[in-house]
Amino acid sequence: MIKSFGQNLPELQLLLSSSHCLMEVGDGAELCFPQLLNTSCRKPTLPWSEVVFLHTLLSSISLLTVALNLLVIISVSHFRQLHTPTNILLLSLAVSDFLVGLLLMPGEILQKTSCWFLNDLECSLYKYLAFIITFASVGDMVLISADRYVAICDPLHYPTRITMIRVKLCVCLCWLFSVFYSSLFLKDSLTQPDRYISCYECVINTDYVAGAVDLVVTFIVPITVIIALYMRVFAVAVSQARAMRSHITAVTLQCSVTPKAKKSELKAARTLGVLVFVFLICFCPYYCVSFAGDSASFISYVIYLYYFNSCLNPVIYALFYHTVERLWSD
């Protein structure tokens, strides 16, 4: 009996959602589909000024995300001198972030400010694509962290360990694993797309266990690896800089060189802090809210912040990454 109830839980959730929708339309509110009175829900009741503000703000962020990542894609693809292992990883990250700005952000704008006019299958495919892109983006961040770890901690073996072929293979495996993982996570919604979709929103409900697994796989494990690698990278970079300066600096110049060394180390520490801090700020709210099971309206706002990381990645990894390299090579 308990097993049967658990198996029918998604249908009960959908039934309750439909019943709630029918109760809402009783006050004469405008419906998403007036011709389907018994199955349609009312439109999102946002003030007109808020709708205009959200459209303007989110559309601007979406366009900026597309433009910045497209610039990185064109630059790395066109200039042969930029065909390095690290830039291949940045290219993969830019592709995933470009798709976020081109496809996922407009979809979230549509859901927040109007009805979902596409069918259930298209909603399932949209969520499937969202899982693939965001998971690939996180995977690229982990690969970039590993690349910097080898480059700083073992620079003599970097050319032999991090080759173009190996990097391209890792990028392909990252995207393939994203497709495989998303297929397992959204298997039910892809095979039976009408089970989890609410009446006017494209929302796919998952159980507690699946949410916990997703939290571990797409957030806890990647952020742990990134923080551990960058902490090790920073510690090695600082020790190397101190050893080099102590070796080449005369005793009489120690007083004048030491402040410069401390300033350089401080800049490197701040830059590495920005890399991890931005990732945490953008990703933590989404996983905390979704795992806690808060309202869908609040989740939509943290999704915007989740996707906003794709707008910041080109600046962080294309600009700050080279800044750290220059600081450590001084």
Asked whether the predicted pLDDT for residue 159 surpasses 80, the reply is yes
SS (H, E, C) 136-201: HHHHHHHHHHHHHHHHHHCHHHHHHHCCHHHHHHHHHHHHHHHHHHHHHHCHHHHHCCCCCCCCCC
Half-sphere exposure (Cβ direction) of 29: Cα atoms closer than 13 Å: 16
User: For 71-75, 246-250, 259-263, which range has the lowest pLDDT when averaged over its residues?
Assistant: 259-263
pLDDT band, residue 81 (cuts 50/70/90): confident
Higher-confidence position of 219 and 110: 219
CATH architecture of 44-329: Up-down Bundle (1.20)
pLDDT band, residue 283 (cuts 50/70/90): confident
More confident residue, 244 or 304: 304
pLDDT score of 239: 76
CA distance 178 to 153: 29
**For residue range 161-173, what is the model confidence (pLDDT) as tens digits?**
999 999 999 999 9
Percent of the chain with pLDDT over 70: 61
Query: 42 by DSSP, 3-state: which?
Result: strand
pLDDT of residue 261: 45
pLDDT of residue 302: 81
How many angstroms from the chain centroid is the CA of residue 312?
10
- Rounded Cα distance between 42 and 27, Å, is 10
Determine phi and psi for 162, rounding to 5 degrees. -105, 90
Mean pLDDT value across residues 113-135 = 81
Q: Specify the residue for token string 């693809």.
A: 77
Q: How far is CA 208 from CA 131, 215, 293, in A?
A: 17, 10, 9
* pTM of the predicted model as reported, rounded to 2 decimal places: 0.78
Average pLDDT on 18-30 reads: 46
pLDDT at 70 over 60: yes
CB 166 within 8 A of CB 225: no
Model confidence at 180: pLDDT above 50 = yes
Neighbour-count burial of 47, counting CB atoms closer than 10 A to its CB (0-12 exposed, 13-18 middle, 19+ buried): exposed
Each residue of 5-16: pLDDT tens digit? 344 444 434 444
76-80 long-range contacts (CB < 8 A, ≥24 apart) are none
pLDDT greater at residue 229 or residue 195: 229
Residues β-bridged to residue 224: none
First-to-last CA distance in the chain?
69
Mean of all residue pLDDT scores within the chain: 74
Query: What are the residue boundaries of the structural domains of the chain, listed by start?
Result: 1-43, 44-329
